[in-house]
Structure 1
């Protein structure tokens, strides 16, 4: 098979698959005439059908067609061909048409039409592919939508183009898809217009708010030296100051305790010395004309009294 023809057949079967839902393995109804011509041209019918349809096949034959093969008379000198016909027919799956009870089989046209379109609705319900050499059968099958037709022409297997009835069904289905797409698009556009109007209203509201803000008088910032960054300024450590004062008091107390142990009168001397120093400072200040009064530190006085009490207890 040439490449151009093979490409055409592949596209054609793809169209049947999209519109009429054909799928592999394809069910091929064989007539007695195509079996006889394939044997005459020495063609391998199964492989040729598979190459033409571009997929696996499931060959089938009706009971009437088999009876026609048995009743056929071969040409003189070709009696062995009849055995080949019957072998090919037996290798195919038997399709029960219900005409086996008749004394004489129905014509292939009537039998195949009753199998393909049993109810006369003009549709190929079971998705059969018809392979026949009889023109009457092909003409009858063109009236049924979605029936691929195959025949042999001078030892070449041909797949017919899509019939008018099938093409009309395909075109109607494509138009329905286009209409559905247009409806969906219109609905989306309507929703988009509505959203756009809402967005424009929101933008207008924002513009009005911006205009009102622009019309309002702006507050002038006070100019001058800026203060230090509050994050870079160290905070006063109150707890550390209190701790340092407490430590100093404890150190003074420890010094006085040691001195009181060595000399019991040390505490009294220290107190008197502080008093004398305070009086001397006051007289000096008075002579200079400036009078200052120094207060005794409460902590030291408390410490001295505490030391006196401790010394008395020890004695």
Structure 2
């Protein structure tokens, strides 16, 4: 299957899922004619259906179509065995002497009450033009057929498009009226009742914590980004200044007194003996003899 066609089928199935509630595994009603054509073209019908629909499928066949396969001439036993593996969709026509036509049988299964809706979300795979033409009048019926050994899916029919547009418009109107969420009104009513109860409790004197709403307005600067204000030193009085100057003048006399006291306490100092150098000794000897020796 080509990539462009696969994308179109995926988009189409997504529309059916959103608007008509289709989901995997897809229930596919297969008629006897498409089974015979698939056998003639040597097509694995179930695998092709999964590829077209992009998911798992549940193939189904009605009792009338099984009777059509048994009555076919020449009778194909292989095709009958293959159809027996599919799920049997009971159409309540098994008691009739002759089976109904594929059109009548599938119409009664897809739309039993003639309400023009696909209540059970069937995908119809049929190669009979009359069946597909009737199914187009029922909203929400994907149609699959085989042509020239290629399995194709029809685009959305007009009836399905009209119903999809009606549902979208109704949803849009409900959204404008505020009725899209049915529980929203109940929540609003309950909140109003709680507020009324809190007001009544405040009037009776019950001390209950109530949430206060923050007033909106201009916000102040961030305290972490603001520089701290410098503290101003208070001006000293003249009396304090005079006291400080007297204290400063008295301080050196006290330090001198402490130095003298330390000296008296330590006692007499010992004189250190100086070592005489050689030059001093030579000078001393020359002085003793009264002569100076030449070097």
- TM class by shorter-chain length? 0.5 to 0.7
SS of structure 2 residue aligned to 1:55? coil
Question: How much does 1:131 deviate?
Answer: 0.3
The alpha-carbon deviation at position 179 of structure 1 amounts to: 2.1
Q: 2:119 matched to 1:125? A: yes
TM superposition shift of 1:181: 3.0
Residue 94 of structure 2 is aligned to residue 100 of structure 1? yes
Corresponding residue to 1:110 among 101, 104, 109: 104
Distance 1:52 1:22 in 2: 15
Q: Distance in 1 between matches of 2:81 and 2:44?
A: 13
Residue 21, structure 1, aligned to residue 21, structure 2: yes
Looking at structure 1, the residues matched to 63 and 177 of structure 2 have their Cα atoms a distance apart, in angstroms, of 50
Distance 1:34 1:17 in 2: 25
TM-aligned CA deviation for residue 176 of structure 1: 1.7
- The 3-state SS of whatever aligns with 2:120 is coil
SS at match of 1:37: helix
**Aligned-residue offset at 1:226:** 3.6
In 1, Cα distance between the equivalents of 2:29 and 2:107? 11
Q: Distance in 1 between matches of 2:83 and 2:108?
A: 20
Q: How does 1:143-182 map to 2 (within 5 A)?
A: 143-182=137-176
Q: Judging changes above 3 Å, is the alpha-carbon distance between structure 1 residues 182 and 29 closer, same or farther for their aligned structure 2 residues? A: same
What does the per-residue CA deviation read over 1:168-207, in whole Å, with 9 as the maximum and x for residues that have no partner?
010111112222333349xxxxxxxxxxxxxxxx99xx9x
Q: Distance in 1 between matches of 2:4 and 2:77?
A: 36
Matches within 5 A, 1:257-268: none
| 1:83 alignment partner in structure 2 | 77
TM superposition shift of 1:67: 0.2
State the partner residue of 2:65. 65
The 2-side partners of 1:116 and 1:152 are apart by 21
What TM-score do you get using the length of structure 2 for normalisation? Answer: 0.60
Q: Tell me the number of residue pairs that the alignment of Structure 1 and Structure 2 aligns.
A: 188
Question: Which secondary structure does the structure 2 equivalent of 1:157 belong to?
Answer: strand
Q: Distance in 2 between matches of 1:148 and 1:227?
A: 96
Secondary structure of 1:48's aligned partner = helix
* Structure 2 counterpart SS, 1:171: helix
The residue number in structure 2 matching 1:40 is: 40
Of the two, which has the highest radius of gyration? 1
From the two aligned structures, give the one with the greater helix fraction: 1
Shift of 1:227: 5.5
Given that 1:34 and 1:131 are in contact with CA atoms closer than 8 Å, whether structure 2 keeps it comes out as yes
How far apart, in 2, do the equivalents of 1:177 and 1:94 lie? 38
Q: Which runs of 5+ in 1 are unaligned?
A: 186-201, 207-224, 229-315
Give SS of 2:60's match.
strand
TM-score by length of 1: 0.57
- Is residue 51 of structure 1 aligned with residue 51 of structure 2? yes
* 1:153 Cα deviation after fit: 0.7
Provide the secondary structure at the position in 2 that maps to 1:103.
coil
- CA 1:183/1:227 → structure 2, altered by over 3 Å: closer, same or farther? farther
